[in-house]
């Protein structure tokens, strides 16, 4: 039985990865932060599984990380813990660097100090945000980086320190350069989830309008459940390597919004441009979507499209397992159900 440690197990990817590894027969250990209000909703269903264990820890606390890794001696570490919100990283740049950059170093150093560098394989959650102000479209493993936010700069450190430890100490450490991946478990302030939640609530009469930032921003959106499989595949190869994980299909925020509302029976027409653009309900003429500069970023990444050829060829992974249309539908249907439940509760008083 293999043993894995997942940092960030309570997040979107961590929870799906824990399920995947448990299904594969792993003993799974997850690192969680202690919080005064306990929010483990994504892993609640795993807590009484015999092979699932929780450890308190924080990426800011190096000794705690050494202690956890020492007690588990994992065969594989998946380093997913991060301050993962790009817009928030402009408000807390130093904390983001501590968690996302130095946190990665702390994991690598813990493994090295404990003498586990030949036994323990490490997956690092790198990101398409490294391409930032993109230098070419689509982006592949050979595209130069141009990070364009405090988050991306911190993740750039994480990317290179993983490569450094691979070369300096012969560690089996890999970067997964994952493009945006979404799901029913996506945090509520990321744009896709914000849209599917709002579309469901507006359709149920619980919300008047949705305010968004840059509607022209283009993303390569995939399904998180498909992407965690790649994390595992990377650590099962003969040699450590870095991989771009993406679908190879790109859509704008506006297109995502259009489809999410369509899944709720609402057809949107778009009028105006820039800050004055509005999404109008074709049936009622009501304005349902407006632009608010509050959601603009000081620098925004606007043209992400991944080339998943290497992952397809070397990992045998299918980037189109869940299509964009299916992803939007899954999220929209899930969030419509949430809205309907909320409406019933409100009616019951």
Catalytic residue at 196? no
Contact between 99 and ligand NAP (CB under 6 A)? yes
194's contact among ligand F7E, ligand NAP, none, with CB below 5 to 8 A by partner kind, is: ligand F7E
Q: Are 331 and 182 in contact (CB under 8 A)?
A: yes
Which of 129, 148, 182, 257 is catalytic? The answer is 129
Catalytic residue at 252? no
60 to 79, contacts with ligand NAP by CB under 6 A?
Answer: 60
Q: Which two tokens stand for residue 217?
A: 């921003």
User: How far does Cα 123 stand from its chain's mean position?
Assistant: 14
253's contact among ligand NAP, ligand F7E, none, with CB below 5 to 8 A by partner kind, is: ligand F7E
Catalytic residue at 324? no
Tell which one of 115, 144, 170, 187 touches ligand NAP (CB under 6 A). Answer: 187
Q: Any idea which residue has 């592949």 for tokens? A: 140
Is residue 54 helix, strand or coil? strand
Residue 138: asked if its preceding bond is cis (omega within 30°), the reply is: yes
For CA atoms 319, 321, 326, 332, the dihedral sign is negative
Which of 3, 104, 127, 247 is catalytic? The answer is 127
Q: Are 315 and 237 in contact (CB under 8 A)?
A: yes
Contact between 214 and ligand NAP (CB under 6 A)? no
Interface residues with ligand F7E (CB under 6 A) are 84, 86-87, 127-129, 179-180, 189-192, 194, 212-214, 217, 219, 253, 295, 297, 300-302
Provide DSSP, 149-200.
Answer: SHHHHHHHHHHHHHHHHHHHH---EEEEEEPPEE-TTS-TTSHHHHHHHHHH
Binding site for ligand NAP (CB under 6 A): 7-8, 10-14, 33, 35, 58-60, 80-84, 99, 125, 127, 178, 180-181, 187
Active-site residue list: 127, 129, 151
């Amino acid at each position: 039985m293999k043993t894995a440690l997942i940092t960030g197990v309570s997040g979107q990817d961590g929870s799906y990865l824990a399920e995947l590894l448990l299904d594969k027969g792993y003993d799974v250990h997850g690192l969680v932060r202690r919080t005064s209000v306990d929010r483990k909703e994504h892993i609640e269903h795993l807590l009484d599984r015999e092979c699932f264990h929780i450890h308190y820890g924080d990426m800011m606390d190096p000794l705690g990380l050494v202690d956890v890794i020492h007690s588990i001696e994992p065969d594989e570490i998946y380093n997913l813990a991060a301050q993962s919100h790009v817009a928030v990283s402009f408000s807390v740049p130093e904390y983001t660097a501590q968690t996302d950059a130095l946190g990665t170093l702390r994991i690598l150093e813990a493994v090295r100090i404990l003498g586990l560098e030949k036994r323990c394989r490490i997956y690092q959650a790198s990101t398409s945000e490294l391409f930032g102000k993109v230098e070419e479209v689509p982006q592949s493993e050979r595209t130069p980086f141009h990070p364009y936010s405090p988050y991306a700069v911190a993740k750039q450190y994480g990317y290179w320190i993983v490569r450094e430890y691979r070369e300096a100490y012969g560690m089996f450490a890999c970067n997964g350069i994952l493009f945006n991946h979404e799901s029913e478990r996506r945090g509520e302030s990321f744009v896709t989830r914000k849209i599917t939640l709002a579309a469901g609530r507006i359709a149920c009469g619980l919300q008047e309008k949705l305010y968004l930032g840059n509607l022209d921003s283009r993303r390569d959106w995939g399904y998180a459940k498909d992407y965690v499989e790649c994390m595992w595949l990377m650590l099962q190869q003969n040699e450590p390597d870095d991989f771009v994980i993406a679908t190879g299909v790109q859509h704008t925020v506006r297109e995502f919004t259009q489809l999410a509302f369509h899944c709720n029976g609402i057809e949107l027409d778009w009028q105006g441009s820039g800050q004055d653009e509005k999404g109008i309900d074709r049936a009622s003429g009501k304005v349902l979507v407006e632009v608010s500069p509050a959601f603009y970023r000081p620098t925004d990444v606007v043209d992400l499209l991944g080339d998943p050829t290497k992952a397809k060829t070397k990992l045998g992974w299918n980037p189109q397992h869940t299509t964009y249309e299916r992803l939007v539908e899954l999220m929209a249907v899930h969030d419509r159900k949430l809205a309907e439940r909320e409406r019933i509760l409100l009616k019951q008083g």
